[in-house]
Amino acid sequence: MTAVSLPAPQDPPASLGRYAAGPPALAAPADASKPRDIEELCEEFLNVAESAVDPLEIASALEFDGLSDQTVRKRYGVSDVFALAEEMYRRVPRRPPEPEPAAELWSTSRLGPALHGVLYGLPTVCFPAAAGLLTGRGVLGVLIVALLVSWAQSQGLAYLGYARLGRTDRAQAARLLRAGLATGTGVTALAMTAAGLALGAHVTALVFGLGVGVYMLGATVLMVLGAERQLLIVLTPGVLGSAAFLALGRPASLQHLAWAALAATPLLAVGLAVTAASRGAGPLRRRRALPPLPGQLATAAELSAALPSAGFGLAAAGLLVFPVAVGLPGEHGPHTGALIASLPLALSMGAAEWLLIWFRRRTQRLLRASHELPAFAIRARLLLLSALLQYLAIAGLLTVAVLAAATESGLLHLHPADLPQVAVYLALGGAMFLALLLQAFGSRAFPLIACVVALAFEVVGHGLGVTAQLVAGVELLVVLAGYGALVLGRAIRHAC
């Protein structure tokens, strides 16, 4: 709004002489020193004019400084303050000040992802030990069913837990996770019973499969609630017992002790998970927590949203266990070499987690520094390529280290013919990394479809052996890389 202006003073009569302007002690009016042309005024209000988003901001500053319509008409030859502001806005180029550096939302230490990689990889040590204990009919089928069911359930439960943490608070998330743990254990028990009836497997294989499912569910609860360090306690008996049993050459006299060590891990997992979920009302409360859902642990919308995650877990597990399933006659238990070859892949998931955060942090910085969308797209895709190459390099080094250790210890006798199988797992590792990256940016349907198609190709072409697996793994890696370059090159995907 224009300030009210006073009439301009008239020229004093000449008879008043030198006293017409008032007593000499009074200062001149405050605006007597104001710039007399628009260029000087632009210099005086340079900071305001450079950062103004429209002329109204400049007009407000001029009026606040005491310039009225009448003053600007007389002094600058424009009709009013708004006309003067528009002229200044036209003359001064926009140079808004740089914003304050934004807080780093995706900063993390390397210790957390490294710990997660160890936690992902350590359970794999138990399988070669169990391979010497599990004998009889249907062992491989039972283990495959256990892995498929537990991966699908754990991925779905993790999605529900993290979604509930983001929308409500820790107490409601813990309540849901506790119910999910109980439900998942029941589903795993039913799956093992059905597998046992269908395959005629021995009860020890069914118990071991149930233990695999219970461990994965309990580990999921602990990781969602931020208690992943307790998994070191959970894994200690199973891993140390398995390592000792393998190092001693699987002596028959230690079979019962090995079974006890393996059984302790899932029991500890479920016990500590229940304890952590029961204490879920502790820290970490959200500001805008939704009211509790009486009589309803999860809404239909939440369960529907978790289906892609559960489906991805099922497809990913299928891709990882398929080489084991087709590489071994069904009556002799899991293939130790294939299981050991999968260990570097599990360990590399820690590196995948860190690189995912690295990619998000770099693209956020790039988004703040970019002024053109095409330039952002190119640099974002180069960052994606860099992250993928870094992951493949780390996974390759882990693979060499694990296979060298397994060969030195006598657990595996590596031959040149086994190298394609190693390449299969490396390609699958790169594809899983890209799939997880895409899911982190909200793209969950395409990775699921791509994994299902790759698994179907392996099943249909199983007669080709490792060739079909290698083709499926490489094609999955290429397809997800291409889709990731297309999707993650868009700035809108990085806006949150």
Report how far Cα 225 is from the mean position of its chain's Cα atoms.
16
On whether both 340 and 216 belong to a single domain, the answer is: no
On whether both 433 and 484 belong to a single domain, the answer is: yes
Domain contains 110: no
On whether both 140 and 56 belong to a single domain, the answer is: no
In the chain, how many domains are there? 3
Tell which of 97, 113, 143 closes a domain.
Answer: 97
Name the one residue in this structure whose structure tokens are 């439900």.
183
Tokens of 424: 């299969």
Residue numbers of the chain with a pLDDT score lower than 50: 1-30, 32, 281-290, 292, 294-295, 328-334
How many CA atoms are closer than 13 Å to the CA of 200, on its beta-carbon side? 4
On whether both 173 and 234 belong to a single domain, the answer is: yes
On whether both 413 and 493 belong to a single domain, the answer is: yes
End-to-end Cα, the chain, rounded Å: 38
Contacts of 63 (CB under 8 A, 6+ apart): 2, 3, 81
Tell which of 316, 334, 352 closes a domain.
Answer: 334
Is the CB of residue 3 less than 8 Å from the CB of residue 65?
no
| Residue 34 DSSP label | S
Q: What span, in angstroms and rounded, lies between the C-alpha atoms of 293 and 299?
A: 9
On whether both 309 and 400 belong to a single domain, the answer is: no
On whether both 339 and 329 belong to a single domain, the answer is: no
On whether both 197 and 282 belong to a single domain, the answer is: yes
Tell which of 274, 302, 334 closes a domain.
Answer: 334
Domain contains 27: no
Domain contains 216: yes
On whether both 150 and 293 belong to a single domain, the answer is: yes
On whether both 157 and 136 belong to a single domain, the answer is: yes
On whether both 325 and 345 belong to a single domain, the answer is: no
On whether both 321 and 360 belong to a single domain, the answer is: no
Domain contains 11: no
What digits encode the pLDDT tens for the residues 381-438? 999 999 999 999 998 998 888 878 777 766 667 677 677 878 888 899 999 999 999 9
State the residue range of the domain holding 371. Answer: 335-496
- Say what the pLDDT of residue 9 is: 41
Domain contains 139: yes
- Say what the pLDDT of residue 412 is: 66
- Say what the pLDDT of residue 96 is: 67
What digits encode the pLDDT tens for the residues 187-198? 999 999 998 888
